[in-house]
Amino acid sequence: MLGVIFFYFFAALAVVAAVAMVVTRNLVHAALFMAGTFLLIAFLYILMGADYVGAVQILVYVGAISILFVFGIMLTKRDRIEDSNRFNRYGVAATIVAVLLFAGIVLAVLGAAFRTVPSDASTSTIQTIANLFLNEYVLAFEFAGILLLAALVGAIVIGQTHLGKARAKPRAPGAGIEGGKA
């Protein structure tokens, strides 16, 4: 009973935060609303007994939001941050896409045959997840790890070559007017 009340409370707040994220003109506010949405969805996971998923949701997305926040500040080259979110001007197109997506999801949900599983909150979910990861889905798990490692190494290499080029070609005085000579 209490769970149901909390579910609707958090779900309603999550929807409000998500809408606010899209509607707001301020990029920083949008990032904060996004963090709020993720947090509220994590609460929903915990409410459903999936406490591992909830904790990971907070752990991963909140860190990501902080990074997003920093990038939002650093990459915004407009003078007024209040007007920095320029992607919410296409109201009609966005409405059409949103309605189509929502209809698609509704159709999919209505068509799906859900199994009712007895809730078993007392047992630990981590052991089950760990067993699945390291037995049945070990290949996918390892591939994801290698992919992330490759991305990490790639990012470092790209960063380093930029640094190397900058050091290899010191801009001597007058080097910028080569084109002018020709």
Are 42 and 57 spatial neighbours (Cβ–Cβ below 8 Å)? yes
* Full DSSP string of 57-117: HHHHHHHHHHHHHHHHHHH---S-GGG--GGG--HHHHHHHHHHHHHHHHHHHHHS-PPP-
Here's the x/- map for another protein, 113-142, by CB under 8 A: it reads as: -----------xxx----------------
Contacting another protein within 48-67 (CB under 8 A): 51-52, 54-56, 58-59, 62-63, 65-67
Q: How far is the CB of 134 from another protein (least distance, A)?
A: 13
Residue 3 or 104: the one with the smaller Cβ distance to another protein is: 3
Report the distance separating Cα 18 and Cα 74, nearest Å.
Answer: 23
**Does residue number 11 form part of the binding site for another protein (CB under 8 A)?**
no
Are 27 and 84 spatial neighbours (Cβ–Cβ below 8 Å)? yes
**Does residue number 70 form part of the binding site for another protein (CB under 8 A)?**
yes
Contacting another protein within 28-47 (CB under 8 A): 28-29, 32, 35, 39
Report the distance separating Cα 123 and Cα 101, nearest Å.
Answer: 36
Report the distance separating Cα 35 and Cα 24, nearest Å.
Answer: 14
Q: How far is the CB of 85 from another protein (least distance, A)?
A: 14
Binding site residues, another protein, CB under 8 A: 1-2, 28-29, 32, 35, 39, 51-52, 54-56, 58-59, 62-63, 65-67, 69-70, 73, 124-126
